[in-house]
Amino acid sequence: MIDPQQALQALLQPAGLQQTLFPPNSRYHGIATATLLDGDGNLVIYLKRRFLPNPDALSTLYEHVVEQGDRLDNIAAAYFADAELFWRIGDANWPMRPGELTETVGKRLRITLPEGIAGMPNA
C-alpha cells in the first residue's frame, strides 16, 4: 500500500535534490542519512558523520577579540546576523570544548566564510 504522505512529499520534492530535515543554518544541513536494522528488526534512521572542515582551508573575514561576557551565539549574531550559526566559529577555531572559545578575555577568534567558499578578508 502506498503511503499518501510519502507520495505527496515525493511530488513536492524537486527531482534530483536531496531532502533534508535540517534548515540551511544547521551544521547538519546536507548531511546524508543512513538506515540499519536493530536486533528487534526495527528500522533505525540516523545521520552519517559530519566531518569538521580544516580551519586552514576556511577564508577569514574578521578576527573577533573576546571580551568579558561574550557568548558564541551573540558573536555569531553580530557577524553572521544569525545566532544559530555559532557552530561556524567552532569550526574555524577547533576548540576541544566550546566554552574555551570565550573563557579567555583577549583571545582572538577567526570569523570565516563557510567551507568551500573563497573570499577576500574584510570584504
Domain ranges in the chain with CATH number 3.10.350:
55-112
The whole-number pLDDT of residue 86 equals 96
Taking domain 55-112, whether its CATH number is 3.10.350 is answered by yes
pLDDT for the residue 122: 52
Element at 108 (helix H, strand E): strand 108-112
End-to-end CA, the chain: 55
Query: 75-98: buried (b, 16+ CB within 10 Å) or exposed (e) per residue?
Result: bbeebbeeeebbbbbbbbbeeeee
| Rounded Cα–Cα distance for residues 110 and 108 (Å) | 7
Q: Across the strands, what pairs with 60?
A: 112
Task: Provide the strand spans (E) within 14-104.
Answer: 33-37, 43-47, 60-65
Model pTM score: 0.73
> Does residue 30 sit in helix, strand or coil?
coil
pLDDT tens-place string over residues 42-55: 999 999 999 999 99
Exposed e or buried b per residue across 63-72, where buried means at least 16 C-beta atoms within 10 angstroms of its C-beta: ebebeeebeb
The residue ranges of the chain whose pLDDT is under 50 are: none
The reported pLDDT for the residue numbered 30 is 87
Q: What is the pLDDT of residue 18?
A: 54
Q: What is the mean pLDDT of the chain?
A: 86
pLDDT for 13: 57
